[in-house]
Homo-oligomer: A and B are copies of this chain.
């Protein structure tokens, strides 16, 4: 009959230690405990020490969930798809590091699965009162973003050029890269250009394509545009098959993504016996790690991931009031060996 108040059967996991328990052990009031862990609160040296000792002994951690039930939660919701893609993995890596350093809690929502589960997940972050959302996904349902905005979240879009009102935009200067690509290929002596992209109609990809085509046109240069599937290695290979399957294949190609470029290179070489850069110059975009591998040595444009991630962290830590709604980062050209060296005249 000895009814034990605390965890009688030991069935339950040991509950979290709370401030009251610490207070009892330290022989002070619960408020004293609370104040010890609150910056700028008034506690005497002695009490503070007693509290810290008791907390240490008991393994106490302040419950942030209960801290201020209605104030900012410091939770950031990161919406991302195609996480296995090297460039995305790099972004997630950089962001999680920077946000962590900024004392934020990063909740990841993977939009790979069906939209149903995604909207359910976003709803979850609302349930958990995330106070900001960072979108990396290529195609997040606009309604999801509206929901986030409607709930007062700060929303930052990365590499999405559509001007969604209320959001902040960070992106790479696609136009600059596309123009530079035309220039590089022309300088390498290419006369028949190709543009390889994917069927995924993301704003970034479209921008790279359109500016490239327009710039080439301005230089009186013909461009073959190919989109042969979802962004990735496979689609690059398929594009090569289509481009070189007919006569008069290009001698200079800009791929809107490194992954496309690598697939393109592989089948251009293996299935059509082309030498790079002798017969064919190729330029990519992203500068994923694989682009530097010996089999590829791809000339490409690097996205300044660290700088972008740092900017996100900065905007999320309060001082975003005066920051312009949009920030554009310069891609940095990475010269490797996939473009024929300029023939000096």
Contact = CB atoms under 8 A, between A and B. Distances in A.
Interface of A: 5-6, 13-18, 59, 61-66, 69-70, 73, 75, 78, 83-86, 88-90, 92-93, 96-97, 100-101, 103, 105-110, 112-113, 117, 120-121, 123-129, 131, 147, 150-154, 165-166, 233, 237, 262-263, 266-267, 270, 289-290, 293-296
B96 A61 contact: no
A287 to B, nearest CB: 12
29 contacts: A5-B165, A13-B154, A15-B70, A15-B152, A16-B129, A16-B151, A61-B123, A61-B151, A63-B129, A65-B66, A65-B129, A66-B69, A83-B89, A83-B93, A84-B289, A85-B89, A88-B89, A92-B92, A93-B112, A96-B110, A97-B112, A100-B121, A103-B120, A103-B124, A105-B125, A106-B108, A108-B108, A266-B295, A290-B290
A59 B18 CA distance: 33
Contacts of A113: 97, 100-101
Given A16-B129, A165-B6, A294-B237, A96 B69 contact: no
Contact of A289 (B18, B233, B267): B233
Contacts of A63: 69, 127, 129
Contacts of A75: 128
B97 A89 contact: no
Kindly report how many copies of this chain are found in the complex they form together: 2
B62 A127 contact: yes
Contacts of A233: 289, 293
Contacts of A152: 13-16
Nearest to A270: B294
Nearest to A5: B165
Nearest to A69: B66
Nearest to A116: B101
A110 B127 contact: no
A91 to B, nearest CB: 10
A97 B121 CA distance: 10
B84 A96 contact: no
A6 B128 CA distance: 23
